[in-house]
Amino acid sequence: MFDQSQLQFEMIQLLDENGNGDEKELASFSDEFLVTLYRWMRKARVIDERLLKMQRQGRIGTYAPFSGQEAAQIGSVLALEKDDWIFPTYREIAACLAHGLPLAQIFRYVRGHLSGGRTPEHLNIFPIQIIIGAQTLHATGCAWATKLKGETQVSVCYFGDGATSQGDFHEALNFASVYQVPVIFFCQNNQYAISVPVHRQTASRTIAQKAVAYGMKGVLVDGNDALAVYKTMKKAVDAARNGEGPILIEALTYRLGPHTTSDDPTKYRNAEEAEQWRSKKDPLRRLRVLLERRGIWTEEKEEAWVAQVNDEVTAAYEEAAADETGSIVDAFNYVYGKPSKLLQEQQEDARRKRKQEVK
C-alpha cells in the first residue's frame, strides 16, 4: 500500500481557534483591513441565516446554506482584483456578494426569477453553477482565453470536496497545468458532499496533494482562518498573474447547516461533531477575538452592524419581490439568437394565455 507520509501537506494557519497567533505575523494586517474582513463575514452570516428562515417561510425556493464557510469565501475573494473572474457554485453567495453582486440579485436567483442568474455586465462573475464540478472546465477555458489575449485577469474556481470525484475536475487540472493558464482551483472541503463524508470521497490524506499528479502546486490551508486564507490566496493570485501557472488550494472548513433546505444532516452526522465545529472552530468567533483584543470591535458595533445588514436584507428582498418582469413569455427571448417561426408561434401562444391569466 502507498505510504501517505511521502506526501507532506502541512496546514497553513495564522490564527488558531482561540484567536491567537504569531504577533509579528498578525501585525502585518492593518486594523482597517481586519474590520473590513470581519464586517463582510458577519454580514454573510446574517444574510445566510435570514435566507434560511425565508425558505422555511416559503418566501424563497430551495436554498444551500454556507454558514461556517465565511472565512474561506470572504478571505479568498478579498484577495482578488475586481476584474478577476470567479466561477461559483450554489454555495458561494458570500463570495459573489463580496465580489460585487447586488444582494437584490441574489434574491431574484433564490426566488426563481428569470433574470436571477444574470450577472451585471461590469462584474466578472460567471453564472452560479449547479452541475457539480462543471465550473472547473469553464474557469480553465476562461483562463486560457485570458492568456491567449494577453490579459492579466486571474480565474478562480470554487467547488466542494465532492467535486473532486468528478471527471471534470481532473480534466480541468490536467489541461490547466499543461497549458499553464492563470487559474486557481479553490476547494472548500466542508467535510460532506451532501451525506457522503470526505473519507468516502477520496483515499488521499488531503485534497491538496492531488495537484502533484498534474504537475502543479497544491496548498492546504485552515479554511476557518480568514487571515491564512487571505494570505494564501494573495500569493496564489500574484503567482498566477505573473505567469507561474495554476494552483490547487484546499481550504479545510465545515458546513454547519444542511446541504440544502431539503436535507437533514442529523441522518448522517452526529450532533457532537457539528457542535464542536460550531462552538470551538467558528471562523467568526476567532477573528472577533482578535479584533476585540486590538480594541477595534465592541458589542455595540456588533449590534449596530447586524441591524444595518438586516435592514439591507429586508430592502433587497422587497426590491426583488416587487420585480414583476421575467414571465414565461420573456423566456422565449433567450432560446436562440434568431428565433425560429415555431418558437415565435409558441411565444405568441404563451402571451395570449398570460393575458387571460391577468384578466
**Hey, where are the domains in the chain?**
4-325, 327-359
143 grid coordinates: 483562463
Pairwise CA distance, residues 284 & 144, whole Å: 36
132 grid coordinates: 457539480
CB 347 within 8 A of CB 332: yes
CB 226 within 8 A of CB 15: yes
* Domain at 4-325, CATH class: alpha beta
Element holding 96 (H helix, E strand) = helix 93-98
In DSSP notation, 219-230 reads EEEETT-HHHHH
Q: Which residue has the cell 452541475?
A: 131
Task: Classify the C-alpha dihedral 310-316-317-318 as positive or negative.
Answer: positive
Pairwise CA distance, residues 207 & 219, whole Å: 9
Q: What b/e sequence results for 73-102 when a residue is b if at least 16 CB atoms lie within 10 Å of its CB, and e otherwise?
A: bbbbbbbbeeebbbbbbbbbbbbbbbbebb
pTM recorded for the entire structure: 0.93
Q: Is 87 helix (H, G, I), strand (E, B) or coil?
A: strand
What's at 235, amino acid-wise? K
Residue 212 exposed, middle or buried by CB count within 10 Å (0-12, 13-18, 19+):
middle
Pairwise CA distance, residues 40 & 287, whole Å: 12
Please give the pLDDT value at position 3.
Answer: 66
Strands (E), the chain: 85-87, 155-160, 183-189, 192-193, 196-197, 217-222, 247-252
Please give the pLDDT value at position 8.
Answer: 77
Pairwise CA distance, residues 268 & 264, whole Å: 8
Q: Which residue has the cell 414565461?
A: 328
Q: Is 5 helix (H, G, I), strand (E, B) or coil?
A: helix
Please give the pLDDT value at position 359.
Answer: 57
Where the chain has pLDDT below 50, the residues are none
240 Cβ partners below 8 Å, 6+ apart?
154, 182, 183, 184, 246, 247
45 grid coordinates: 452570516
Please give the pLDDT value at position 356.
Answer: 79
CA dihedral 175, 179, 182, 184 (to 10 degrees): 30
Please give the pLDDT value at position 1.
Answer: 56
pLDDT tens, residue by residue, 41-83: 999 999 999 999 999 999 999 999 999 999 999 999 999 999 9
Q: Is 86 helix (H, G, I), strand (E, B) or coil?
A: strand
What's at 299, amino acid-wise? E
Please give the pLDDT value at position 327.
Answer: 82
Catalytic positions are 255, 259, 268
